[in-house]
Amino acid sequence: MLDKKKFYINGEWVSPKKINDFKVTDPSTEEECAVISLGGVEDVNDAVRAATKAFETWAFSTKEERLKYLEALYVVYKKRWADMAKAITLEMGAPIDFSTQLQAGTGASHIKSYIKVLKEYTFEAKLGEHALNNNILHEPKGVCALITPWNWPMNQTCLKVIPAIAAGCTMVLKPSEIAPLSSMILAEMIDEIKLPKGVFNLVNGDGAITGNALTSHPDVNMVSFTGSTRAGALISQNAANDFKRVSLELGGKGANIIFKDADAEAVERGALRCFRNSGQSCNAPTRMLVEKSIYDETVERVKNFANSMKVDIATKEGDHIGPVVSKAQFDKIQALIQVGIDEGAKLVAGGTGKPDGLDKGYFVKPTAFADVNNQMQIARTEIFGPVLSIIPFETEEEAIEIANDTPYGLLNFIQTQDQEKANRVARKLRSGMVDINGAGLAPDAPFGGYKHSGIGREAGKLGLEEYLEVKVVSGWND
């Protein structure tokens, strides 16, 4: 078992003030694979103190200095790519090929993207020709608490850490205690490039103690959190006491609208997007809305696709999905699959229990329900597992109404070869992102949602600006 009990504070690996061990579990085997320590209030205080001190000088670093560090980090990240992929496979169960190509790949992609964003970004500008002595300054927000999830650990961590560095902020990162190993490798990389002491700090821990201490700390100026809507609400309450800036990337229950003129691969593409990463993606299209004239055919295609999808251990190479991350997650998914059965939805693939031959590990069968209505719990709850709900619709207006009838508003999908219709529907969907015919979002496209899916945007220019305050100075002459 890996011993990973230390924290990274003020440029050094340090022991926690009080040992409070937490065992990390390999979800493919249900065996303990590492032991970390959960940070307490004193550890958080040390990290925030280091970040506060470092901000005094880092806030006034030049864009060129920050670029140098990001470019060095990109080189080191590529060198450690395989280590990162193996850590993600071990801690959260992403199959090694998927982990290498996508899970670890997103980290490198975001570093590269933010190098470009930072090069192009202007931190000072005149208000306009009418007021040449009014200067607009974009300045770092200060000490940032960055709290990241287990499902896409490097994607979400790099979407926070990298723009915070680029903006001139200092930070304390608290990765999920369920999947902390990848973030500790990132800390090793940051140590290797000799980022100034205190700019980046890492304290492992849980939400109740470590997360609470961070989000309520009076010297933390901003909280960026990715996770559940429930936790996002609690963090917002903590942050409100002293008006911390808050950025939240929360849940989703995306609709995938399949019109009768969808392309030949639309159904399978949508099912794959739902099931990949074992369904553990906030932006997964977990509600498939299907025009009635092709409904029966679509249900049969989904059934065949789900039944053909392979499930296997994460360390095995190949095209399959792995386990879900933990016993708690497995039990939640199983309970909701049973709810779907009890609600009267038609189970067409998968169901409760583990796939044949996988008695050990938190493996879930790719599951699909037909004849779902949008008031069923399985259509309204973010299950966060490989479970798809298929819902019929008759008209374009009904499809839009069903798609928008959810507390969430993260990413919706449209499948049609009528571009005018696709554009029209996209405008009417209440979500932060819409994907038409599998086009995919660019790495620097703003990621975030409406309603209960969060506040703010990550990635690209808007992601950088989450870490910047705006100051106007009148009487400026240069």
Residue 234 pLDDT: 93
Residue 3 pLDDT: 85
How many contiguous H segments (helices) and E segments (strands) does the chain have?
Answer: 16, 21
Question: How far is Cα 367 from Cα 351, in angstroms, rounded to an integer?
Answer: 6
Residue 2 pLDDT: 84
Dihedral angle, C-alpha 141, 144, 148, 153, nearest 10 °:
80
Between the alpha carbon of residue 121 and those of residues 117, 164, 459, the distances in Å are 6, 14, 14
Question: How far is Cα 188 from Cα 157, in angstroms, rounded to an integer?
Answer: 14
* Rg of the chain on CA atoms, in Å: 23
Which one of the listed residues 144, 177, 282, 382 is annotated catalytic? Answer: 282
Question: How far is Cα 62 from Cα 39, in angstroms, rounded to an integer?
Answer: 33
- Is the pTM higher than 0.95? The answer reads yes
Could you list the pLDDT tens digit for every one of the 478 residues in the chain? 688 999 999 999 999 998 899 999 999 999 999 999 999 999 999 999 999 999 999 999 999 999 999 999 999 999 999 999 999 999 999 999 999 999 999 999 999 999 999 999 999 999 999 999 999 999 999 999 999 999 999 999 999 999 999 999 999 999 999 999 999 999 999 999 999 999 999 999 999 999 999 999 999 999 999 999 999 999 999 999 999 999 999 999 999 999 999 999 999 999 999 999 999 999 999 999 999 999 999 999 999 999 999 999 999 999 999 999 999 999 999 999 999 999 999 999 999 999 999 999 999 999 999 999 999 999 999 999 999 999 999 999 999 999 999 999 999 999 999 999 999 999 999 999 999 999 999 999 999 999 999 999 999 999 999 999 999 999 988 7
Residue 476 pLDDT: 84
User: What is the largest distance, in Å, between two alpha-carbon atoms of the chain?
Assistant: 74
Catalytic (active site) residue 268: no
- Identify whether the C-beta of residue 91 lies closer than 8 Å to the C-beta of residue 182: yes
Catalytic (active site) residue 249: yes
Which one of the listed residues 177, 249, 382, 466 is annotated catalytic? Answer: 249
- Identify whether the C-beta of residue 36 lies closer than 8 Å to the C-beta of residue 21: yes
> What is the three-class DSSP state of 343?
helix
